[in-house]
Amino acid sequence: MASIEMTNIVKKYGDGFPAVNDVSLDIADGEFMILVGPSGCGKSTLLRMIVGLEDITSGDMVIGGKRVNDLAPRDRNLSMVFQNYALYPHMTVFENIAFPLRLAKTPDDEVRRKVNAASDVLELKEHLERKPANLSGGQRQRVAMGRAIVRDAEAFLFDEPLSNLDAKLRGQMRTEISRLQRRLGITTVYVTHDQTEAMTLGDRVCVLRKGKIQQVASPRELYEQPVNLFVAGFIGSPPMNFLPATPEGNRLKTPFGDIELDERRAAAVAGHDLLLVGIRPEYFEDASLVDDAKRPVGSIFRAKVDVTEWLGDSQYAYIPYDAPDSIKAHLRDLSKELDSEELRTQAIVSIDATSRIREGREAEFWLDSRKVHVFDPESGENLTRDAEAGAELTRLATQDRLEHLESARAQQDGASDGQTGARGGATAVGAA
Amino acid sequence: MSARKKVLWILGGVLITVYCLFPIAWIVSLSLKAPGDLNNGGFLPSALTWENYELILSGDASGLFLPALRNSFGICLIATAISCLLAMFAAYAIARLDFPGKKVILSTALVVAIFPIISIVTPLFNLWRNIGLYDTWPGLIIPYLSLTLPISIWTMSAFFREIPWEMEQAAQVDGATSWQAFRRVIVPLAAPGVFTTAIIAFFIAWNDFLYGISLTSTSAARPVPAAIGLFSGESQFVEPTGSIAAAAVIVTIPVVVLVLLFQRRIVAGLTNGAVKG
């Protein structure tokens, strides 16, 4: 187990294009770090530089206090789960998991013991003699994980490990990975483009865009205090709505009526002509269903609903709006960068599942103005970000993690003191 | 409809099989005819006789045929083994590494493969005589490599290219050196490709006539196709058709056996299950 420190890492390909550009990132011992971003943002390249499959053009990569820039992958003692699992098809599951141990010339009985332990954790016991070709997708995924956990690696690296599974299995494996990492308390770097995975798994999430780090923070901070338009638009599903706005005193004029800002935010946006106001879908509500107590903290507006989607536990309404051409162009560029194709300017609004608002009719909405963020459309910068509140969120998350880690390690020490029976029981319960 | 379709399919299949196997059947039939019976006007021999086989295996022609058979086996197997080994390394480099001159190597291999043999046989004959390779096994193995290597490199690099890169990277992350990754992961996965290549290379060497007839003079190194060409009848007016047919049948046997032995290995898709199915 080790920390991973990256300082000014750059990766340039033959044509001089920087796939990773000046990335500095510290991953603490035992931390679960997520690298996330749209395709082509350099997240996989960064991971492959950590493991040594990709040369580092410049910068320092330090793992466990040792500079590893010039070490071959096999000398870095990291283990990795590939997107397509990369199992060895000519070997049985047992030999697949045992492969790293065999290469390290581990004695036979120790190999057997370790592989059996790993297969217990991953419930692969009855498949050990089968070939990967005969396994289901989820089982193959577990074999790949088994190969990673069987030796005492400094860190785990995951390269979109769940993207080949169907949605249901993906959810199950996600919690499984999370549980495993918590229990082993091992430093983990996890690449994904799926933001559900990013939000649920990570202690901290690093959002990349075109090879540059945008923000490194706990999922909560990313969601509530994004640094710029890109992070705000990338994190959250359905995504944040961006409406054109013009400031007037401490009010913002938007297509959905005026939004009143508090002192701090009003001061931050002063001096700009045209702004983008970012409002998450859940900051809206069907006005008729809002408590009288809550009404005064937001504003009420009327709008025509284009489409509604009722999902049982929630409901979304789509409200088209008009925007100046310059804003439209900005939004189109942004959605292209986020791998989506936004054809029209519309707001996605989350309303209560019981709401009677129907398609094609005009309805009254309430908008919670306390949490809106205001962005500069030119630079994309978040003008109203509260850095202190954000840092506090991440500090809390770090504290949680350290407590968790400590208890996991205490448990493991207890188990190695000869309480193998108790640990076996705990495993069975944990797995069930 | 489906019944009629089935009949048509079977009919077509039978037609093609007959078309393909007819020359072989003819050779077999010829090899079983007595010399006087060769022109009997019928497809089948009037009376079955093993005379031709006796002639080449233990009779007058056996002095020509048996050493040639031994030479052919030895030379072709050695040439195949060397060319497979060399082609494996070359193809791996071509499929995996990025180095200047990669295209040049591939196109040179292609040029070598299509270069007319006849134009280099005479210079080679002189060269071999001067340096003492004429009428020896190495004297044939070396030119056979020039026939088998290009095709071996091309087929094997196609096979190597189909093995996912991740296999090897995974092995490296797991702690393997490049050589270990190659030997323990890539080679087993490429086995069907290696077998296919070996068989193709073997046939090319096995079927060669031009080098065999030009670069040998005695049974020290003369391969079967050249030896068959030197068969003679009882007198200069009699064609040795029967014994040639018998020799041809015998020469075909190893080919058939090889294909039957290895066809499962060739067909087996070993990479199945390596990556997401």
| A87 vs B169, B188, B274: nearest CB | B274
A/B interface, count of CB pairs below 8 Å: 83
Q: Check B174 against A86: CB less than 8 A apart.
A: no
Looking at chain A, which residue has its C-alpha nearest residue B98? A14
Q: How far is CA A36 from CA A48, A51, A161, A192, in A?
A: 14, 17, 13, 5
Q: Check B276 against A140: CB less than 8 A apart.
A: yes
A265 and A358 share one domain: yes
Looking at chain B, which residue has its C-alpha nearest residue A161? B276
Q: Is A234 a domain residue?
A: no
Q: Check B172 against A53: CB less than 8 A apart.
A: yes
A100 in contact with chain B, both atoms CB, cutoff 8 A: yes
Q: Is B18 a domain residue?
A: no
Which residues of chain B neighbour A103 with C-beta distances below 8 Å?
174-176, 180
A203 and A317 share one domain: no
A410 and A357 share one domain: no
Of A94, A92, A111, A107, which is closest to residue A151 (Cα–Cα)? A111
The contacts of residue A310 (CB under 8 Å, 6+ apart) are A353
| The pLDDT value given to residue B265 | 65
Binning pLDDT at 50, 70 and 90, where does residue A430 land?
A: very low
The contacts of residue B182 (CB under 8 Å, 6+ apart) are B92, B168
Q: Check B270 against A74: CB less than 8 A apart.
A: no
Identify the burial level of B249 via C-beta atoms within 10 angstroms of its C-beta, where 0-12 means exposed, 13-18 middle and 19 or more buried: middle
Alpha-carbon Rg for chain A, nearest whole angstrom, is: 25
CA distance A89 to B276: 11
Of the two residues B255 and B262, the one the predictor is more confident about is B255
Of the two residues A274 and A429, the one the predictor is more confident about is A274
A53 and A187 share one domain: yes
Q: Which range of residues forms the domain containing residue A255? A: 239-382
Residue B146 has pLDDT above 50, yes or no: yes
Looking at chain A, which residue has its C-alpha nearest residue B185? A88
Span A161-182, pLDDT tens digits: 888 888 888 888 898 898 888 8
Token reading at B221: 């190194």
| The pLDDT value given to residue B54 | 86
- pLDDT mean across residues, chain B: 86
Of A82, A188, A178, A91, which is closest to residue A134 (Cα–Cα)? A91
Of A71, A152, A82, A79, which is closest to residue A110 (Cα–Cα)? A152
Binning pLDDT at 50, 70 and 90, where does residue A416 land?
A: low
A293 and A349 share one domain: yes
The complex scores an ipTM of 0.78
User: What is the strand order of the sheet A307-310 is part of?
Assistant: A307-310, A315-320, A346-351
Looking at chain A, which residue has its C-alpha nearest residue B179? A103
Q: Is B276 a domain residue?
A: no
| The pLDDT value given to residue A424 | 38
Of the two residues B155 and B272, the one the predictor is more confident about is B155
Q: Is A229 a domain residue?
A: no
The helix (H) or strand (E) run that includes residue B52 is helix B51-57
Q: What is the pTM of this model?
A: 0.78
Q: Is B162 a domain residue?
A: yes
Residue B58 has pLDDT above 50, yes or no: yes
| The pLDDT value given to residue B18 | 92
CA distance A135 to A143: 9
* Chain B nearest C-alpha distance from A25 (Å): 22
Token reading at A419: 């309480």
| The pLDDT value given to residue A386 | 86
Helices then strands (H, E): number in chain A?
Answer: 12, 21
Q: Is B261 a domain residue?
A: no
| The pLDDT value given to residue A59 | 92
Flag the least confident range among A227-241, A405-419, B50-64, B222-236: A405-419
Residue A417 has pLDDT above 60, yes or no: no
A300 and A194 share one domain: no
A134 in contact with chain B, both atoms CB, cutoff 8 A: yes
Contact present, B85 and B156 (Cβ < 8 Å): no
| The pLDDT value given to residue A343 | 67
| B170 vs A72, A86, A135: nearest CB | A86
CA distance B93 to B11: 47
Q: Is A227 a domain residue?
A: no
* Chain A nearest C-alpha distance from B177 (Å): 7
A417 and A359 share one domain: no
What is the rounded end-to-end Cα distance, in angstroms, of chain A?
Answer: 27
Q: Is B181 a domain residue?
A: yes
Span B202-238, pLDDT tens digits: 989 999 999 999 999 988 889 999 988 888 776 677 7
CA dihedral A414, A418, A419, A421 (to 10 degrees): 150
Q: Is A135 a domain residue?
A: yes
Residue B21 has pLDDT above 60, yes or no: yes
- pLDDT mean across residues, chain A: 87
Residue A426 has pLDDT above 70, yes or no: no
Kindly state the average pLDDT of the residues A190-197: 89
Q: Is A390 a domain residue?
A: no
Span B97-140, pLDDT tens digits: 888 888 898 899 889 888 888 888 999 999 999 999 999 999 99
Please give the tally of structural domains in chain A.
2
Q: Is B147 a domain residue?
A: yes
Binning pLDDT at 50, 70 and 90, where does residue B242 land?
A: confident
Q: Which range of residues forms the domain containing residue B162? A: 62-230
Q: Is B267 a domain residue?
A: no
- CATH number of the domain at B196, please: 1.10.3720.10
CA distance A348 to B135: 86
| The pLDDT value given to residue B267 | 58
The contacts of residue A14 (CB under 8 Å, 6+ apart) are none
A48 and A177 share one domain: yes
A335 and A273 share one domain: yes
Residue A141 has pLDDT above 70, yes or no: yes
Alpha-carbon Rg for chain B, nearest whole angstrom, is: 23
Please give the tally of structural domains in chain B.
1
Which residues of chain B neighbour A133 with C-beta distances below 8 Å?
272-273, 277
CA distance A192 to A45: 12
Contact present, A256 and A243 (Cβ < 8 Å): yes
Q: Is A231 a domain residue?
A: no
Q: Is A329 a domain residue?
A: yes
Q: Phi and psi at residue A365, in whole multiples of 5°? A: -120, 155
Residue A432 has pLDDT above 60, yes or no: no
Residue A149 has pLDDT above 60, yes or no: yes
Which residues in B have their CB inside 8 Å of a CB on A? 164, 166-167, 169-177, 180, 185, 188-189, 270-277
Token reading at A173: 């494996």
A207 and A301 share one domain: no
Q: Is B55 a domain residue?
A: no
Looking at chain B, which residue has its C-alpha nearest residue A86? B167
| B174 vs A85, A90, A99: nearest CB | A99
What is the rounded end-to-end Cα distance, in angstroms, of chain B?
Answer: 36
Strand A346-351 and strand A241-248: the pairing is: unpaired
Q: Is A426 a domain residue?
A: yes
Strand A32-36 and strand A373-375: the pairing is: unpaired
Which residues of chain A neighbour B166 with C-beta distances below 8 Å?
82-84, 86
- CATH number of the domain at A100, please: 3.40.50.300
Residue A427 has pLDDT above 70, yes or no: no
Kindly state the average pLDDT of the residues A140-151: 91
Q: Can you say how many angstroms the Cα of residue B1 is from the centroid of all Cα atoms in its chain?
A: 43
Binning pLDDT at 50, 70 and 90, where does residue B45 land?
A: confident
Span A4-58, pLDDT tens digits: 999 999 999 888 888 999 999 999 998 999 999 988 889 999 999 999 999 999 9
A153 and A277 share one domain: no
